[in-house]
Amino acid sequence: MTRDAGLTRDAGLTWDAGLTLDAGLTRNARHDTDAGHDGREKRMSGLDDLKDKIAVIGVGNTRYGPFPETDEYGLAAQAFRNAVADCGIDKNQVDGLLVCRIPYYARMGEVLGLNPRWSLTLPPHGRMSGMGIIEAATAIAAGHATHVALMYANIGRSRRVNYGGDENPGTWDPWGFTSPGAAHAMMFRRHMEMYGTTTRQLAEVSVAVRHHASLNPDAVMRNPFSIDDHENARFITAPLRLLDYCLINDGAVCLILTSRERARDFAKPPVLISGFGAQETFSPSSISNYDHEFWYPALQAAGEQAYRMAGVGHDDIDALMCYDNFSPTVLFSLEGLGFCPRGESGRFVEGGTLKLGNRLPLNTDGGHLSNSYMQGWALNVEAVRQLRGECGARQVPDCEVVQYVQATPCTRSIIYTRG
């Protein structure tokens, strides 16, 4: 993931030494706004040049569900076929390959008959989609590749992945503290205590997302439920209940990216990557998936960078695709991005704010909570489909700007617009 000097030179960008220095400054920005702001100014001059330069030309996915008869390669190949068909590309034009949660990149290339000029493998963590799309975009801008296919596959349901216990050994196992869900429960309890946020407010997230899934014929879970249903669901790790947890299902997703100029050659109208931003929060990694500040400083930094690069503001966002591994992440994201003041996300979402037709449609495909656990990748596909106007009953009218965000130790935001 290191952006080396070669990339900087090749792209003719102005990522100078400030990039390296900024990493420290940005994390301290909450204590010293001026220093952090100055640091970020330097870095963004380079990224801003990539505004609208890279387009998503093809998207594809498998059905979502249990598919024990296949494996990651089988799922990814199907998603790739669908993405190729979606844009009409000759698959041999693909000269860049980015894979995530696929065991062996070279086998993936062999399966698809690809020997690309550039490839990158990302670990199977639920935060790599935003990173991968940004890295692919910068690789195209730098000239490493012209057409990059990004593939993600997950067969966690058929493999009975638990996301806790001995699968993910950690420092706090002797006390029984394990699983990303428990870390989010810990954060949400803290949010409740600090700001008076209630579980009925939290329910608005799951209820809105399930409503959208009910409009998506491909979603795994489609039966609508109410706030009371959410309140009556069983606890997994209190204060979080079953309906605050994402699904675990099998499936795969593929996106194909190229430059804006080349994008004109393909079947569908291109969707442009207009802005993006990034900020890691690597401490405390020993308490995995936990941040004492709800990733607020990272979301602020990534959001400011993305909005500024894209030249849009909150009121321009027609739909928000928000990493919803657990429902509290959505509340944290709304605050960090600045859709509402800090601590007020509970009140902000009351009354169906996040439902289609209201102020800020959220995860219109049903997200991780109800559509499919594709760890952010499917949300980026949904952003593309919304901007193309392909979403049928769940289409956001006149959709022009869609924002993706992942509030995780690797926080990313991407702003997509119609080409």
Partner 1 sequence: MSYTKPLPRIDTLNQPFWDAAKQNRLVVQCCTACGDTRFPPSPVCPKCLSAEQTWKDVSGRGTLQSWVEFHRAYWDGFKPDLPYKCCMVQLEEGPLLVSNLVGSDANAKLGAPVRVVFEPVTDEITLPKFTLA
Give residues in contact with partner 1 (CB under 8 A).
Answer: 162, 164-166, 169, 171-179, 182, 185-187, 189-190, 193-194, 234-240, 283-284, 286-287, 292
| Whether 72 contacts 226, CB under 8 Å | no
How far apart are alpha carbons 102 and 94 in whole angstroms?
A: 18
Q: Which amino acid is at 339?
A: F
Task: Quote the least distance from Cβ 168 to partner 1, whole Å.
Answer: 9
How far apart are alpha carbons 172 and 97 in whole angstroms?
A: 37
**Pairing label, strands 96-100, 54-61:** unpaired
In which element (H, E) is residue 37 found?
A: helix 33-48
Least Cα distance to 255 among 243, 239, 266 occurs for 266
Task: Quote the least distance from Cβ 186 to partner 1, whole Å.
Answer: 5
User: 42: alpha, beta or left, given left = phi > 0 and alpha = psi -120 to 50?
Assistant: alpha
The residues with which 411 forms a beta bridge, in sequence order, are: 279
Phi, psi of 291 (to 5 degrees): -135, 125
Task: Quote the least distance from Cβ 24 to partner 1, whole Å.
Answer: 11
Task: Quote the least distance from Cβ 39 to partner 1, whole Å.
Answer: 19
Q: Which amino acid is at 4?
A: D
Cβ distance to partner 1 smaller for residue 115 or 162: 162
Cβ distance to partner 1 smaller for residue 239 or 270: 239
**Pairing label, strands 118-122, 410-418:** unpaired
Cβ distance to partner 1 smaller for residue 240 or 360: 240
Phi, psi of 255 (to 5 degrees): -125, 145
Taking only Cα atoms into account, the Rg of the chain, rounded to an integer number of angstroms, comes to: 20
Cβ distance to partner 1 smaller for residue 111 or 192: 192
| Whether 332 contacts 342, CB under 8 Å | no
How far apart are alpha carbons 412 and 402 in whole angstroms?
A: 14
Task: Quote the least distance from Cβ 320 to partner 1, whole Å.
Answer: 26
Least Cα distance to 121 among 109, 104, 137, 133 occurs for 104
| Whether 380 contacts 129, CB under 8 Å | yes
Cβ distance to partner 1 smaller for residue 178 or 408: 178
Cβ distance to partner 1 smaller for residue 21 or 106: 21
Residue 58 makes CB contacts below 8 A (sequence gap 6+) with 83, 84, 86, 87, 89, 254, 255, 256, 266, 268
Q: What is the DSSP letter of 268?
A: S
Cβ distance to partner 1 smaller for residue 178 or 305: 178
Task: Quote the least distance from Cβ 164 to partner 1, whole Å.
Answer: 4
Task: Quote the least distance from Cβ 155 to partner 1, whole Å.
Answer: 21
Task: Quote the least distance from Cβ 169 to partner 1, whole Å.
Answer: 7
Task: Quote the least distance from Cβ 193 to partner 1, whole Å.
Answer: 4
How far apart are alpha carbons 373 and 324 in whole angstroms?
A: 9
Task: Quote the least distance from Cβ 417 to partner 1, whole Å.
Answer: 39
Task: Quote the least distance from Cβ 241 to partner 1, whole Å.
Answer: 9
What does the angle CA 416 – CA 52 – CA 383 come to, to the nearest 5 degrees?
Answer: 15
**Pairing label, strands 118-122, 96-100:** parallel
